[in-house]
Amino acid sequence: MKQVHLLYDVGLLATVPPSRRSGLCRMTEVVLQQLALCQEIVVWPCVWTKDKYLSQRLDELGLGDLKKRIIHLPLLRYHTDDIDWKRRFKGRLFSWWGRRKYASLWKRFDCLFGSYLRIPDVIYESGLPVISFVHDMIPIVHPEYSEPDFVLSYTRWMQAVQSDVLLCDSENSRSDFLKFRPDYPERQAHVVCLGVEEKFRPDSEDEARDFVRRRYGIPEKRYFFALSADSPRKNFMHLMEAFEQFSRRIRKQDIVLVIGGPKTRHLEAFLNKHPALRSRVILAGFIDDRDLPVLYAGAEAFIYPSLYEGFGLPPLEAMACGTPVICCDNSSLPEVCGDAAVYIDGKDICRTALALERVYASHRLRETMRKKGLARAELFSWDKTVRQICSFIINIGLSKRGKNDTKKAKNSNDCRYYRTGWRILGQISS
């Protein structure tokens, strides 16, 4: 059986501390675990960023055997078009050095797969086939949500994409990319949706629920759950104002809002301005991945007021746990949630407050949303995602192998031709 030798960029696992792992980190881990089980693919984890956590994380994932295959490529850490002149100088110097140092390395592999970080120009120039992911085009479509320097860097990143196969989380992200890069071959851009891990399921033990409540200071009340990030795009001031309006409307004290993620100064300032909400809003801080399924499953609803997403993994995880989802009706979110969610306008506070009240007040609605959400979540699985990724890797890897075999055969025939020619010339001259 022919095997494809794959370089897999796992830079996120090397640089992001375990306590701050995001959905993209979880995706990188799950895909790595699944690829390691594929008999047709030999995975070689590679890193061109600083490696702080990779070996530890491989052990935690039960992939300790892959540590001996880690490929470090430190000369590819910088880019030749970096906005910082020092890093740009290093990028040009190291790229020149890397072209020479790594020239023979690329011949050992059939393909490179990048699940997030930018692919260095040296790899594109090497002729090694590249499969990469574009998760979203948010800094380009909505530059107001990012710092100007990051918008410029991201724009250059997307301009530099030359992947043989480009994978996008959603049809919305694919459309955004092709609008920005009309020169990129449309047939090479494909939609591969993310999946949901098996640990996200409706059932959780009473003991686990009690432990998680104590751990994050959640009282014995009903609760809405939300996951925040320190970005205006996540729209959490909108949620706070809507929850404040909702609280005034129902006048009951039997439900709280639990927000996981960083305790930003904006959220703290809002609570200082509305002291009555102090006992009804729990800023839980960073949530351990192991606790997420329990928190999802115990919530009356999961609220996702984001103004733009490339995919929307948290709503999918919530639906898999049997939790009703309230989210915005923009970008890729309708692709993920279908008819299982109650949709809101991320700029209409009254509509969001009414949605909270509607879900809070109706057990029948919550049960309907729960059933629809579970059915919707079954359409997404990491097995399906990885099977799609594997098919691209195997096809492009074996295609490269075939071209190399053809090239070797041609070179061999050329050598025989030249040897025959020299022998004939020798006979003539004698």
Chain segment 270-319, per-residue pLDDT in tens: 888 888 888 899 999 889 888 999 999 999 999 999 999 999 999 999 99
> What number of H helices and E strands is found in the chain?
17, 13
Note the pTM of the prediction, 2 decimals: 0.86
Domain 206-377 class, CATH top level: alpha beta
On whether the CB atoms of residues 6 and 35 are closer than 8 A, the answer is: yes
pLDDT for 401 beyond 80 = no
Residue with tokens 């997404």: 380
Confidence grade of residue 420 (pLDDT, cut at 50, 70, 90)? very low
CATH topology of domain 4-195+382-409: Rossmann fold (3.40.50)
Residue with tokens 């910088």: 78
Looking at residue 80, the DSSP 8-state letter turns out to be: T
- Among 28-32, 54-58, 91-95, 375-379, the range of highest mean pLDDT: 375-379
Q: What is the pLDDT of residue 161?
A: 95
Query: pLDDT tens digits, residue range 27-54?
Result: 899 899 999 999 999 999 999 877 888 9
pLDDT for 407 beyond 70 = no
Contacts of 409 (CB under 8 A, 6+ apart): none
Average pLDDT over residues 129-141: 95
Domain extent listing, the chain: 4-195+382-409, 206-377
Looking at residue 391, the DSSP 8-state letter turns out to be: H
Q: What is the pLDDT of residue 402?
A: 53
Looking at residue 182, the DSSP 8-state letter turns out to be: T
Confidence grade of residue 94 (pLDDT, cut at 50, 70, 90)? confident
Q: In angstroms, what CA-CA distances link 65 with 10, 35, 372?
A: 15, 14, 41
Q: What is the pLDDT of residue 423?
A: 41
Q: For helices 265-273 and 236-250, what crossing angle results, to 10°?
A: 30
Q: Which tokens go with 220?
A: 């014995």
Residue with tokens 């590819």: 76
Within a 10 A sphere around the Cβ of 276, how many other Cβ atoms? 10
Between 87 and 337, the more confident residue is 337
Average pLDDT over residues 104-128: 91
Residue with tokens 């686990």: 208
Mean pLDDT of the chain: 88
Q: Which tokens go with 326?
A: 């309230």
